[in-house]
Amino acid sequence: MSPVLFGILAALLIASALGVVLSASPIRSALSLVLTLFFIAVQFLFLDAQLVAALQVVVYAGAIMVLFLFVIMLLNLQEEPQAIARLGQRAAAVFLGSLFLLAAVHFLAKPGIGAGTGMAGAVPATFGSTELLAETLFTRFLFAFEITSVLLLVAVIGAVVLAKKTLT
Amino acid sequence: MVIDLLIAVIKALIVIGMVLPLAGILGWVERKGSALIQDRIGANRASIFGFAGAGLVNTLMADPLKFLTKEDVIPAGVDRLLHTLAPCVNLFPAIVAFAAIPFGDVYEVGDRVINLQAVGLNVGILYVLAMLSLGVYGVVLAGWASNNRFSLLGGIRGSAQMISYELGMGLAIVAMVMTFGTLDLQEMVRAQGHLILGWIPAWGILYQPVAFLLFLTAGIAESKRVPFDLPEGESELVAGFFTEYSGIKYLMFFMTDFVDVAVVAGLVTTLFFGGWQIPYLMRDGFHLPWGAVVALPQIVVVLLRLVAFMVKVIFFCWVQVLIRWSLPRFRYDQVMRLGWKGLLPIALLNVLATAVVVLALQG
């Protein structure tokens, strides 16, 4: 992927991510998050991971975020008044944020990371293809895959039980 | 490099040139078709120097002009940005979904082989599903950003209905993916070019008739048309999620309706009716089952297949118009029951049966 294209996409991605944090209205925040997830999917697309990109849109942007919007609409949330954020909260946020930034800078400054432009030659032609991903998923990671599906099933049953007023 | 870019642009223009006029013509088909079904004359008021063109002047010129010149009303107390964004968010995914649907095999010029598909994606069918799943945002946003309870109810109904029917639709597609063993729409169409017993074209509907019915039902529900037009529900919700829209924005909601119809017709054609395939037509001409061969130049074959694809798409658009004007509207609980207790279990069983058959044939 060309660095220029990556730069443009990354800028859009960060701008929409900032939109999530900085919007006063919850619905605009949620929509910015949809946009962020969409741009991440486009990044995947340029990294030859078509399947991951498609799943990112179908699952996150197309299903999960719709439920977020649903809840925001049904609760009829109003704009968040700025005054509510207390001084202590802000101080804690700044402290934790800078801690995270420090860790990120420390990690990225390590030699070898970011210099991996030579990697492109090592990627096989089938990289990111559905067949390869499915094969890895159903052989090496079969146990994790099955356990995750059981976990999701339990979550679904739990949700139904909680949502039902009377169990008959 | 420049030529590749030019080819990509031309292919994109071909797809847009198919979808948008089709959406316009569907407006005419719907109005005159409904008139035919209900034994009326239908749109015939507007004319140019006495020429009404069987309602074409009315529906393709007078109506759009009227929509374009109407006042654009934005209700008080709404988020103006989101209110304007909603029709665009509604229309955009429907149009780009068509990009992965192939309209021909390949066209060879010199040593260059051009794949006749706007975007040749490894995961084509998933891309279309992803785009269709984004369409729900237009409905939700329009409902919420109108500051109107009828709109909000319509938006909530619409999103609940679209999410519910996406499941049935997705599972019907899963069965097709298992049958063809690929997610690539172009490969699926190529696989339908074989012949069973030497003379029956191996179209998807012969393998998966149940998936076809499931897909068509879910597709009509996704496009929110009668009998699934609860999100609009004129008798209860005025016009549902687009009650508060006028002028060009209202027209955009209308166009989304027709583009959705075209996308569903395109997918039905591609998955179940051989896409651009014409029975017995190979890349070099007709190979008839009794052995006769009619050789045809490449350009004729490509054009014939393009026409065949368009004819099939238009036919399934007409089927949808026919259904829309034949059936009464469901009640909301009936829509939900059909989606969750009807389509979903049948689709799951269909996937199971397909898996068993595919495994048995392999082993």
Q: Flag if A130 and B122 touch (Cβ within 8 Å).
A: yes
Q: How confident is the model at residue A2 (pLDDT cuts 50, 70, 90)?
A: confident
Say yes or no to pLDDT of B76 above 90.
Answer: no
Number of domains in chain B: 1
Q: How confident is the model at residue A111 (pLDDT cuts 50, 70, 90)?
A: low
How many CB atoms neighbour CB B229 within 10 A?
A: 23
In-domain check, residue B203: yes
Q: How confident is the model at residue A26 (pLDDT cuts 50, 70, 90)?
A: confident
Return the residue in A58, A60, A72, A126 with the most chain B beta carbons within 10 A, the one to mutate for interface testing: A58
Q: How confident is the model at residue A48 (pLDDT cuts 50, 70, 90)?
A: confident
Say yes or no to pLDDT of A116 above 70.
Answer: no
What per-residue confidence (pLDDT) applies to B346? 93
In 3D, which of A80, A107, A62 has the Cα closest to residue A22? A80
DSSP state at residue A80: P
In-domain check, residue B67: no
In-domain check, residue B70: no
pLDDT top residue among A114 and B351: B351
Say whether residue A75 is in contact with chain B using an 8 A CB cutoff: no
The maximal CA–CA distance of chain A, rounded, in angstroms, is: 63
Residue ranges making up the domain that contains B124: 75-362
What per-residue confidence (pLDDT) applies to B351? 92
Under 8 Å between Cβ of A79 and A24: yes
Q: How large is the average pLDDT for residues B57-76?
A: 83
Q: How large is the average pLDDT for residues B146-168?
A: 85
pLDDT digits (tens, 9 = 90+) for B289-331: 777 777 777 788 888 888 888 899 989 999 998 888 888 888 8
Residue A64 corresponds to which amino acid? I
Residue B71 corresponds to which amino acid? E
Q: How large is the average pLDDT for residues B197-203?
A: 80
Contact list, B141 vs chain A (CB under 8 Å): 31
DSSP state at residue B103: -
Q: How large is the average pLDDT for residues B238-247?
A: 82
Contact list, A63 vs chain B (CB under 8 Å): 133, 163, 166
CA distances from A97 to A16, A17, A91, B199 (A): 18, 15, 10, 69
Q: How confident is the model at residue A63 (pLDDT cuts 50, 70, 90)?
A: confident
pLDDT digits (tens, 9 = 90+) for B211-234: 999 999 999 988 888 788 878 777
Residue B124 corresponds to which amino acid? G
pLDDT digits (tens, 9 = 90+) for B103-148: 877 777 777 777 777 777 778 888 888 888 888 888 888 888 888 8
Helix B124-144 with B247-272: angle, nearest 10 deg: 150
Q: How large is the average pLDDT for residues A20-28?
A: 82
Q: What is the pTM of this model?
A: 0.83
Q: Flag if B130 and A58 touch (Cβ within 8 Å).
A: yes
In-domain check, residue B258: yes
Q: What are the backbone angles phi and psi of residue B275, rounded to the nearest 5°?
A: 50, -120
In-domain check, residue B300: yes
Which A residues 6-65 touch B at CB under 8 Å?
25, 27-28, 31, 34, 50-51, 53-55, 57-58, 61-63
CB neighbours of A101 closer than 8 A, spacing ≥ 6? Answer: none
**Bridge pairing between strands B195-196 and B200-201:** antiparallel
In-domain check, residue B69: no
In-domain check, residue B46: no
pLDDT digits (tens, 9 = 90+) for B276-289: 888 887 777 777 77
Under 8 Å between Cβ of B132 and A61: no
Determine the distance in angstroms separating the CA of A113 from the nearest CA of chain B, rounded to an integer. 30
What per-residue confidence (pLDDT) applies to B114? 75
In-domain check, residue B18: no
The residue with tokens 């529906």 is B59
Handedness of CA A153, A58, A66, B236 (dihedral sign): negative
Contact list, A54 vs chain B (CB under 8 Å): 123, 126-127, 129-130
Say yes or no to pLDDT of A115 above 60.
Answer: no
